[in-house]
Amino acid sequence: MTDALGPLSGIRVADFSTHAAGPFAGLMMAEMGAQVIKIESSARLDITRRPHPMYGKPAPSFEQVNANKMSATLNLKEPRAIELALELAKVSDLVLQSFRPGVFDRLGFGYEALRKAKPDIILVSLSSNGQSGPEYNYAGYAPLFAAIGGLGNLTGYPDGPPVELRHGMDHTGGMLLAFTAVAALCAKRRTELGQHVDVSVRDLGSSFIGQSLLEFAMNGRETQRQGNRDDSNAPQGVYRCAGEDKWVSISVGSQDEWKAFVGVMGNPEWAQGDKFGDAFRRWKHHDELDVLISKWTAKHTPTEVTEKLQSRRVPSFPSLSPSQLRADPHLEAREAFPTITHAEKGEMRAVVPPWRFSKTPSSIDTWTPDLGEHNMDVFHGIIGLPKSEVESLQESQVIW
């Protein structure tokens, strides 16, 4: 923890988003120093805050994406709660929301209502399909985002079904949401104008497959699923190593890397002929090449393979499990999993942001808040309601 201010210090965010993608955006902004107030409700708990159907406890995903935030509760079915939400918007720089398109407007808290409360407000809306178009109101969760964006159809093995990307799409959508929120803040600094930013995770998936879209537009060819293979480089893949369910990833991108790889393997006879002599031949005989490489990797641990290949500048890394990541010496040296002290839960391990600012550090300072933990801080301390009124609104289940 540091006394230096984060790059977003002084920014206040009213975070009405739920599930994973939207809250992940709020988390990143909170890690960069913004005051992020998560607005939730006892009337309809965030799905990841609810007890897990199998384990009984809230899902770890809620703990992950809501650290460093404040929690305030509002029952948005109550007119007075909408008034308080608008009061909070007046003293905030931007609002995040991930309701299905149209819901915010029906609640009386859409962009036009926000503009009346604060003309220069920034509203950033995240949804499956965007705020417009014939399928704008379709429901969607992370497993579907890659499918409707075209990315899922390209992911998987040639003889298998498309593979959906789940949390990867949620969190990438959250990163895009945070990026656009910061961009809108930069525009506001220059123009003094607020705006409504429409972020679609479906469009995000499509933006990742530009090469395949151009391949079809230019050549009339549909890109096919190819597992771990590359369009031109070989070998490239994940290879079984010594031990139970141990794997190493290897990617050879040049002739020099291939020669170094062959040298590390002890210059086997099979690698000396023309069959694997250049990138095209290796790519053409990739199946046979994978079998031969696997015979070598199977004799070594993933760490041994990595150290041998990296010593010759050949890209290679173990495929790490969560427990292995937690014990990884490189990540430990970068303090990737700091200890956070919670008043009731004791010491907890957090995950730091994947970036480092030299002058305005990002950090995880506080654990995930309890439901409504900061009601008095928000409604009395920030908005200015008398304490007695806050208590009365809690009793009447408006602040609830």
- Domain 236-319 CATH class label: alpha beta
Contact 176, 202 (CB under 8 A): no
User: What pLDDT, on the 0 to 100 scale, is given for residue 54?
Assistant: 63
Burial class (CB in 10 A: 0-12, 13-18, 19+), 349: exposed
Amino acid at 18: T
CB-based contacts of 56: which residues, under 8 Å, 6+ apart? none
Domain ranges in the chain?
12-208+344-395, 236-319
Q: What tokens were used for 200?
A: 């679609």
Furthest-apart CA atoms within the chain: distance in Å = 85
Contact 225, 153 (CB under 8 A): yes
Calculate the alpha carbon distances from 57 to 49, 51, 52, 65, 400 in Å: 9, 5, 5, 16, 21
pTM for the model: 0.91
Per-residue tens of pLDDT for the chain, all 400 residues: 345 689 999 999 999 999 999 999 999 999 999 999 999 999 999 988 887 666 566 667 888 899 999 999 999 999 999 999 999 999 999 999 999 999 999 999 999 999 999 999 999 999 999 999 999 999 888 878 889 999 999 999 999 999 988 778 999 999 999 999 999 999 999 999 999 999 999 999 999 999 999 999 999 999 999 999 998 899 999 999 999 999 999 999 999 999 999 999 999 999 998 999 999 999 999 999 999 999 999 999 999 999 999 999 999 999 999 999 999 999 999 999 988 887 777 787 888 888 999 999 988 888 899 999 999 999 999 999 999 999 999 999 999 9
- Distance CA(298)–CA(247), nearest Å, equals 9
The dotted CATH code for 12-208+344-395 is: 3.40.50.10540
DSSP codes of every residue in 330-373: HHHHTT-S-EEEETTTEEEE----S---SSS-----SPPPPTTT
User: What pLDDT, on the 0 to 100 scale, is given for residue 243?
Assistant: 95
Q: What tokens were used for 126?
A: 């995240």
Cis peptide before 235 (omega within 30 of 0): yes
User: What pLDDT, on the 0 to 100 scale, is given for residue 1?
Assistant: 37
- Distance CA(260)–CA(33), nearest Å, equals 46
Among residues 67, 66, 177, 84, the alpha carbon closest in space to that of 128 is found at 177
